[in-house]
Structure 1
Amino acid sequence: MIVSVRRLAVLTALCALGATLAACGTAPGPGAAPAPHAPRPARASAAPPAPLAPSRPPTLAPGPAGLTPVFAHASRTAGRTVALTFDADMTADQGPRAAAGEHFDNPGLIRALRTLKVPSTVFMTGRWAEQYPDQARALGHDPLFEVANHSYSHYAFTADCYGLPTVPEDRMRADVERAYTAFRAAGITDARPYFRFPGGCYDQRALRAVSGTGVTAVQWDVVSGDAFATDADAVARQVLDGVRPGSVVVMHCTRSAAPTTERVVSSVVPELRRRGYRFVKVSELIGTAGARR
């Protein structure tokens, strides 16, 4: 009897010791459930990354009295950059000529720019986008290019502008906005807020009329002379003689009106690269701190 009592006391002590060890966090055996008072640690969950806000293309601040700002070239001291720009011209009344076989596009030029990997800005009329929607959409979705506004009709915004028909003052803003509508219809979802006046012709009245669209007007400081030219070498020399750091070069993307442009690009681009120039889009030039109005 005495032995049984002693054994019982020993067993009781061992049970108490085991309970104490369990309470101090002794790890449970394999497959054992955790103690009820020890909750499972919460698994850390990484928060999903916040979506990147789309970057807004750089523009210039409005001019005096809120007039549309005008950009012609970037700073001459900001590095050897140059922007090649191409006007995809087609006036609102040239549909019959296109139907008769006249080519207002230039696929060979675009292929050359892609082969040479030249970032470029295409100033497109809305009428051109309607005539060549597949090409317009391809340009708008190719990161090598950016599409900007060259009006819908390619009618002049001043009188006496290379013989172009004129847009009435009260229709100027609508003409710019109609071009953006044509771009969207063709599948261009990211047309730039840059506008080139047809013929480069503008005055205070025109700058005031389009100010509500929020565009920056883009001119140039190097005239290639490719319009209606037949001597590609002469055009190339004119470009090479005129380019300075930060230059904007105007050319054309229209086979019928500028048949030499593909050959000009194929000779000018390697030579300018040899001289240390880097080709950029107009948006990069406008985004530089030294942009000039």
Structure 2
Amino acid sequence: MITPACRRLVALCALGTTLGALAACGSPQQTPTPRTASSSPASAAPGHPSAPLSHAPAAPSRPPTLAPGPAGLTPVFRNAPRAPGKTVALTFDADMTADQGGRAAAGEHFDNPGLIAALRTLKVPATVFMTGRWAEEYPDQARSIGRDSLFEIANHSYSHFAFTDDCYGLPTVPEDRMREDVERAYTALHKAGVPEPMPYFRFPGGCYDRRALRAVSGTGVTAVQWDVVSGDAFATDADAVAQQVLQGVKPGSVVVMHCTRSAAPTTEQVVRTVVPELRRQGYRFVKVSELIGTANARH
């Protein structure tokens, strides 16, 4: 005969078995995942009895930017301090204006997959300043570049219209739409699948004035210029372009080139010439974000 005490013991054993099975399947009986302060305002301080035993993963740090200029104007970065270390950043403008869709449909190539492949083969970190219109035209390439840790993608406006008058014949963006143009580019980059576009902005044509700096200041970007002009735009002599880059590079330099086959057909060959020579000279290739971080550390 089974006594009442034995019945209670059997029930408790069965309950324990059931709870163990649920825990193994990921039920709420599992050990709680550590919470970060951002996910739970009531997270316990370290050492508190209810605090998790393991450390929560650190939140990713925000990319370095420069402090705003006088009156909160958008800061402008051209190059890092010349010493210490021989670093250089290669940057590539992926240009496409808002009205060039018809030309792309007719077969004109505003992309340059050969250039990106060369950078990957040579293992060269680089920063690509991409227009929103380019990302819309080539979303697969934008996503591939944006998800490759070798590269970082920054903002080059949506339409590649100028932010000043008389800028290489480009159409202009009205002052009251400048900020909107920058924000629209970020929207296009995200939509194309670029997970973390950088808080850097390159003015189309490199043209800006105080009015333009004030207009985009609310976006929180750092404007990125350059100190070495490659001259690859519309060039047909790759050797001449490579020589111009090699003569201009100094420690901390930012080199401007292009990622558009139709407008800069020699750039891939320029990169294949310049990279091994600069490495022979002791240069290390970095992204713009590293140069800006270095500049911040020096102040």
Aligned to 1:256: 262
Normalising by structure 1, we get a TM-score of 0.83
When residues 258 and 291 of structure 1 are mapped into structure 2, their CA distance, relative to the original with a 3 A threshold, is farther
User: Which runs of structure 2 are paired with 1:32-51 in the superposition (5 Å)?
Assistant: 47-51=53-57
Larger Rg: 1
| CA offset digits 1:123-160 (Å, max 9, x no partner) | 00000000000000001100000000000000000000
Does the CA contact (< 8 Å) of 1:119 and 1:145 recur in 2?
A: yes
2:125, 2:298 → 1: CA distance? 21
1:206 paired with 2:204, answer no
1:96, 1:292 → 2: CA distance? 47
1:64, 1:275 → 2: CA distance? 38
2:244 to 235, 238, 241: 238
| CA offset digits 1:198-224 (Å, max 9, x no partner) | 000000000000000000000000000
When residues 63 and 176 of structure 1 are mapped into structure 2, their CA distance, relative to the original with a 3 A threshold, is same
Counterpart AA for 1:166: T
Aligned to 1:62: 68
1:108, 1:140 → 2: CA distance? 16
1:131 paired with 2:166, answer no
Counterpart AA for 1:94: Q
Does the CA contact (< 8 Å) of 1:71 and 1:291 recur in 2?
A: no
User: Which runs of structure 2 are paired with 1:132-147 in the superposition (5 Å)?
Assistant: 132-147=138-153
Aligned to 2:38: none
1:180 paired with 2:198, answer no
Does the CA contact (< 8 Å) of 1:123 and 1:147 recur in 2?
A: yes
Does the CA contact (< 8 Å) of 1:173 and 1:210 recur in 2?
A: yes
Alignment length (residue pairs)? 249
Q: CA deviation at 1:119?
A: 0.2
| CA offset digits 1:27-72 (Å, max 9, x no partner) | xxxxxxxxxxxxxxxxxx9823212111110000000000000000
1:96 to 93, 102, 112: 102
Normalising by structure 2, we get a TM-score of 0.82
When residues 291 and 174 of structure 1 are mapped into structure 2, their CA distance, relative to the original with a 3 A threshold, is farther
Secondary structure of residue in 2 paired with 1:101: coil
Aligned-residue sequence identity (percent) comes to: 83
Q: CA deviation at 1:190?
A: 0.3
Does the CA contact (< 8 Å) of 2:66 and 2:296 recur in 1?
A: no
1:129, 1:277 → 2: CA distance? 31
Aligned-residue Cα RMSD (Å) equals: 1.5
2:126 to 116, 120, 136: 120
Q: CA deviation at 1:78?
A: 2.5
| CA offset digits 1:202-254 (Å, max 9, x no partner) | 00000000000000000000000000000000000000000000000000000
Does the CA contact (< 8 Å) of 1:71 and 1:292 recur in 2?
A: no
Gaps of 5+ in 1: 1-44
Secondary structure of residue in 1 paired with 2:166: coil
Secondary structure of residue in 2 paired with 1:288: helix
